[in-house]
Amino acid sequence: MDHWIETPRGRLFARSWTPAGARGHAPIILFHDSLGCVTLWRDFPGELAAATGRQVIAYDRLGFGLSDPFAGEWSNQFIHDEARDNFPLVLAAFGITRFVAFGYSVGGPIAANCAALYPATCEALITMSAQACVDEGILAGLRQARGEFQAPGQLERLARYHGDKAAWVLEAWLGTWLHPSFAGWHIEQTASGLICPLLAIHGDRDEYGSLDHPRRIAALTSGPSEVVILTDCSHHPLRDQPSTVLDVAAGFLHAVPPLNV
């Protein structure tokens, strides 16, 4: 089911997948990557809903996918800003009182910030291919990506999902992460002291983050945490090993006790 969420800064597009028996379980909210959107989750949300018995909700951040363009000046505090400004509006729109946060790539730090801001209602946190800081490995991958996107047709391919916002989406990613003002960012600045169960999934060939990243993320919580390293897997586990991700995430959530809110 598709949804539109009104915010003071523009409309957010969201989509939900609700399996039979989902009532009573905390829904899973998906946070997309730097070039992502609801559509690019492809079949995964529906499969995750079926495997876990939980409602799954994905939404496009402002400027991405079908959501309205981002108005105003982009901030390199966007990770924390998303959790503070837009996420509570998503919770309110769906009447959510407890949730599971699941973030891919930069969606991982955003999800972690949501867990930090709402500790009493975050039942669990899952990150996949997430970054914990800006290091030379990430910068090398970003520089290579910038060169690749200069090839003919690459921006047009991105426009299939973001329309005339595609150039903005690309610059919001590369321009932010490669800018010197963002070099000191690390996840512990705004997402430390978590208390929820945490699962960090990471590929051993991730071109945008070494294995230090999931280990740092797992250390954010005082609750139970698990790091799963996928062998022969890149930054794109849903392309490389989708069934493994689904099994690992579903197994983790089946063991998470429900919150009493």
pLDDT in tens, 24-73: 899 999 999 999 999 999 999 999 999 999 999 999 999 999 999 999 88
The range of the structural domain enclosing residue 96 comes to: 2-133+186-254
Flag whether 77 is in a domain: yes
DSSP 177: H
Flag whether 150 is in a domain: no
pLDDT for 172 beyond 80: yes
For 250, what's the count of Cα atoms within 13 Å in the CB-facing half-sphere? 18
Return the CATH number at 19.
Answer: 3.40.50.1820
Residue 215 CA to residue 198 CA, distance in Å, equals 11
The pLDDT of residue 156: 95
Q: Look up residue 222 and give its two tokens.
A: 């005082």
Instruction: Count the domains in the chain.
Output: 1
The pLDDT of residue 139: 96
Flag whether 155 is in a domain: no
Flag whether 88 is in a domain: yes
The pLDDT of residue 201: 98
Q: Look up residue 189 and give its two tokens.
A: 């600045």
Give the mean model confidence (pLDDT) for residues 218-228: 98
The pLDDT of residue 22: 80
Max intra-chain CA distance, the chain: 53
Flag whether 198 is in a domain: yes
Alpha-carbon torsion (191, 194, 196, 199), positive or negative? positive
Cβ atoms of 228 and 235 within 8 Å: the answer is no
Write the burial class of residue 226 (CB in 10 Å: 0-12 exposed, 13-18 middle, 19+ buried). middle
Flag whether 222 is in a domain: yes
Provide the mean pLDDT of the chain. 96
The pLDDT of residue 261: 57
Give the mean model confidence (pLDDT) for residues 138-142: 95
Nearest to 65, CA basis, from 102, 34, 88, 28: 34
Cβ-based neighbours of 105, under 8 Å, separated by 6 or more: 32, 33, 34, 36, 128, 129, 130, 131, 208, 235
Flag whether 55 is in a domain: yes
pLDDT tens per residue across span 72-126: 889 999 999 999 999 999 999 999 999 999 999 999 999 999 999 999 999 999 9
Flag whether 26 is in a domain: yes
Q: Look up residue 18 and give its two tokens.
A: 């609700």
The pLDDT of residue 72: 86
User: Which residue(s) pair with 187 in the sheet?
Assistant: none
Angle between helices 166-177 and 154-162 (to 10 degrees): 110
